[in-house]
Structure 1
Amino acid sequence: MEQFIAFVKKEFYHVLRDRRTLFILFGMPLAQILIFGFALTNEVKNARIAVFDQAKDEASQQLISRITASGYFEIQEDVMDNSLMEDAFKSGKIKLAIIFPRHFENDLFHQHHAQIQVIADASDPNTATTLTSYISSIIQDYQAELAGGAAVMPYQIIPEIRMLYNPQLKGAPNFVPGVMALVLMLVSVMMTAISIVREKETGTMEVLLVSPFKPTWVILSKAVPYLILSLVNVLTILLMSVYVLDLPIAGSWVLLLAESTLFIITCLTLGIFISIKTKSQQVAMLISLMGMLLPTIMFSGFMFPIENMPLPLQLISNVVPAKWFYIIIKSIMIKGLGFEGIWKETLILIMITLFFFLLSLRSFKIRLE
């Protein structure tokens, strides 16, 4: 029994001395509880919307006040006419727009019915459906207050709902860009991450280091095959989207392929950096799999709205390349935007790529330890 207790103590000492084990035992559960239980939710809050009030009467102002007080919406004051509204939808500045017609109050109290136009960005059908449901509920509550408890509603406000970019509310416009970002991130990073480590483990890295190849060419030679294979993946996904899922590409094919190539290169540089910093294929694969899978799912906007997250997590999402690629792909495929609509996101991907490429060059050691 004493020997058994001694072995238990010994194992405790090993665990307590290993910081990585302690992190897995205590850090990971706490992080997952905080992220999944608090930060990540499908509930839509603080959604940016525009209100175009052509009536400017007491009834429209009361309804706008109710919308603002609900806590679900954040009204963008600088989007106040149709032309600005269209640009705001294309740039992703707003998710929904509400238009009050002229004589709204007069129609409501004299003709006993009035209309409100509700326009939603349905490139994300789940968010669009949720937001329009919120608006409809607020309108119904306002009608009930006007009715004063009467069984029959004396005044009716009819929301005329219009879904932009995806009127049928298909899931593919949201699903395909997210899958593209996820697949390319995992494949490009994971396969590249084990490339240099494999050379270290098999001993062939010594041959490469004594060859006349410069470190730059060694790194690039590891990336080119996976760049070509990832481009084949992109073409396969796009062709299946068009001919199997019946999802037409609204924008330029050339621009779409060019942006996909940029994202693949970003992922490759990240994978090479992981490969240089790790010493075994198992560690490289684990870091690339867990380190890329969870951030891509959680912080790209594919599954969870980023604007719902606390500010620190919103800031963290800015360093996740998949977030910017997801915005780019949706803008080109669904909204049909050109380069002028995605140049900021493109510049951010270029900066991330250069950062990891230069960091990889600096970290690459020409001598084996």
Structure 2
Amino acid sequence: MKQFIAFVRKEFFHIFRDRRTMLILLGMPIVQIILFGFAITTEVKNVRVAVLDPSNDMVTRRIIDRLDASEYFSVTTYLHSPAEVEAAFKRGDVDLALIFNEQFASRVYTGEARVQLVSDATDPNTATTQAGYAANIITAAGREMLPPGVQATSIIPEVKLLYNPQMKSAYNFVPGVMGLILMLICAMMTSISIVREKETGTMEILLVSPVKPLFIILAKAVPYFVLSFVNLTTILLLSVYVLGVPVAGSLFWLITVSLLFIFVSLALGLLISSVMRTQVAAMLASGLMLMMPTMLLSGMIFPIESMPVILQTISAILPARWYIQAVRKLMIEGVDISLVLTEVGILAAMATILITISFKKFKNRLE
């Protein structure tokens, strides 16, 4: 029995001595419960609403105030013409538009009053939920204001879904899958490939060759760049010809932004490889820092606006978030590249920072 207890104590000492194991055993459950508890939600929050109200009467103002007072919606923009509605969506300024017809208050009594909800259906589940929440609030507000004898059906919103009127789920998950696949192939596989050379001792042999270390690292990254481009082409072909998801915008700019994201992912893989010494550590770092946050916090599955502020902040440093946003705008909404400059600029800055840090740390460690 004493020998058994001694072995048990030895195993405890081994576990406590390895900080990475302790992080996985004790830290992973905490991170998972926080992420799953706050990120996975079917509720909508912080929905930005644009209003087109040509009548601007007491009834419409009452409905707008009731919607704005809700914890789910925030009226941020007032439009002046129908042409501004789609432009606001393309700029990414609003998530939902509320449109009244002219002389709304007087037409309520004749049954000719019309109110329309326009939602961005690139994410069909979120669009349906947003429209459903707003319709319930508008109907309830209208019912309270209607005098006896007037039917409540006079103020039932008509829902219009932009970019995805058929409510196909492929319109939502194709951009997310593109971001996830490219991230994992480039970052995870690149980091493992270089760390494998270090672990087996062959990296030192490569470094004493006439080839400079910079070209050795780039030679490791180029195959994954080519394979990622092949995967990108395959995904686009399957999306268009099998899933029926059209490329509404410029194919050239879609591919250009994708190549920029691939470069960012490769730079991230190089950074991981310069820090980690073993393949297991590189796999754990890639899984912890890339796969789970990309799936939960990039907007691939769950809307970022519904997350707490701290998770939205973490989401802002994920390259996949900005790439998925850019793909949705270019591929699904068909916007001009000028409306995606924010995402492109952030990805370019990430690429510059990551490649600079990774090469600097790699050189310092080898010297």
Shorter-chain TM-score: what band?
over 0.9
Tell me, yes or no, if the aligned pair for 2:44 and 2:129 is still in contact at 8 Å: yes
What's the counterpart of residue 63 of structure 1? 63
* Deviations, residues 262-309 of structure 1 (Å, cap 9, x unaligned): 111111111111112111122212222332111111121111111111
What's the counterpart of residue 117 of structure 2? 118
What's the counterpart of residue 140 of structure 1? 139
Amino acid at match of 1:63: I
For 1:365 and 1:19, the matched residues in 2 are separated by: 26
* Deviations, residues 108-147 of structure 1 (Å, cap 9, x unaligned): 13x1452102111111111111111112211332344246
Amino acid at match of 2:132: S
TM-score computed with the length of structure 2 as normaliser: 0.93
Tell me, yes or no, if the aligned pair for 1:146 and 1:155 is still in contact at 8 Å: no
What's the counterpart of residue 229 of structure 1? 227
CA gap 1:83/1:8 in 2 versus in 1, 3 angstroms: same
CA gap 1:88/1:147 in 2 versus in 1, 3 angstroms: closer
Q: For residues 315-326 of structure 1, what are the structure 2 equivalents within 5 Å?
A: 315-326=313-324
* Deviations, residues 170-205 of structure 1 (Å, cap 9, x unaligned): 111111101100110111111101121122233321
Amino acid at match of 2:144: E
For 2:172 and 2:253, the matched residues in 1 are separated by: 19
Q: Which runs of 5+ in 2 are unaligned?
A: none
What's the counterpart of residue 201 of structure 1? 199
CA gap 1:143/1:113 in 2 versus in 1, 3 angstroms: farther
CA gap 1:99/1:54 in 2 versus in 1, 3 angstroms: same
Q: For residues 26-37 of structure 1, what are the structure 2 equivalents within 5 Å?
A: 26-37=26-37
Tell me, yes or no, if the aligned pair for 1:147 and 1:155 is still in contact at 8 Å: no
SS of the residue 1:266 aligns to: helix
What's the counterpart of residue 158 of structure 1? 156
* Deviations, residues 225-278 of structure 1 (Å, cap 9, x unaligned): 111111000000000111111111111111111111111111111111111211
Amino acid at match of 2:27: G
What's the counterpart of residue 104 of structure 2? 104
Amino acid at match of 1:46: N
Amino acid at match of 1:241: S
Q: Which runs of 5+ in 1 are unaligned?
A: none
Mean CA deviation greater in 93-102 or 79-88: 79-88
Mean CA deviation greater in 34-43 or 14-23: 14-23
Amino acid at match of 1:243: Y
Tell me, yes or no, if the aligned pair for 2:51 and 2:78 is still in contact at 8 Å: no
Mean CA deviation greater in 13-22 or 236-245: 13-22
What's the counterpart of residue 128 of structure 1? 127
For 2:181 and 2:359, the matched residues in 1 are separated by: 26
**Percent identity (aligned):** 50
Tell me, yes or no, if the aligned pair for 1:201 and 1:280 is still in contact at 8 Å: yes
TM-score computed with the length of structure 1 as normaliser: 0.93
What's the counterpart of residue 358 of structure 1? 356
For 2:240 and 2:112, the matched residues in 1 are separated by: 43
Correspondent of 1:293 among 291, 294, 317: 291
What's the counterpart of residue 251 of structure 1? 249
Report the Cα offset of residue 99 of structure 1.
0.9
Report the Cα offset of residue 217 of structure 1.
1.1
Q: Does 1:345 align with 2:340?
A: no
Tell me, yes or no, if the aligned pair for 1:200 and 1:279 is still in contact at 8 Å: yes
Tell me, yes or no, if the aligned pair for 1:143 and 1:155 is still in contact at 8 Å: no
For 1:345 and 1:361, the matched residues in 2 are separated by: 24
Q: Does 1:77 align with 2:77?
A: yes
Q: How many residues align?
A: 367
Report the Cα offset of residue 345 of structure 1.
0.8
